Amino acid sequence: MSSKGKLFVVSGPSGVGKGTIVRRLDKTDAVLSVSATTRQPGKGEKDGIDYWFISRSEFEERIEKGMFLEYAEVFGNLYGTPTDKTQEAVESGKNVILEIDVQGGLQVKKKWPEAGMIFIMPPDMLELEKRIRNRARDSEETIRKRLEEAEKEIEIGKKNYQHFVVNNVLDEAVSEVQEIINSH
């Protein structure tokens, strides 16, 4: 009989590099969770690979049935982590990595208390601002909002997460997160 995997939540403020870190992790014994969404597929996105694309009514029905570990509405679209897919992967011995915001992370922690909670921190707020600006996709107002939100998220993270990784040098941050996952 194979041993069970474990669930890991990776969160951090916008622009901290959590997506980049998660994509670079060794996926030998781990899988990235695929979220469900009500938004339309983007160019080149595939159902079941990038997202599970479902209708709003189907999503709402699944909420009623408690079929999501966490969910949220973002810019008019619903996003959520399907409980069944996560459970199947963990039962099969895989570690499952959820890259989600802190609000989603708190929802997961309530439903799955044994989840490994990993928070990615910026070296400092000036560096975070620089990274957000370098993406060159946000207005000045959006940048200001993201930085305000980042401060709140960091406070929530400090109170609710077990592991903290500062993303100063990307390779080192990837190694630290990998080490946390491997040690569980």
Residues annotated in a binding site for ATP? 12-19
Q: In sequence order, what DSSP letters do the residues of 48-96 get, joined into one string?
A: TTTBEE--HHHHHHHHHTT-EEEEEEETTEEEEEEHHHHHHHHHTT-EE
Residues annotated in a binding site? 12-19
Q: From CA 175, how far away is CA 74, in angstroms rounded?
A: 31
Q: Tell me the two tokens of residue 55.
A: 């209708």
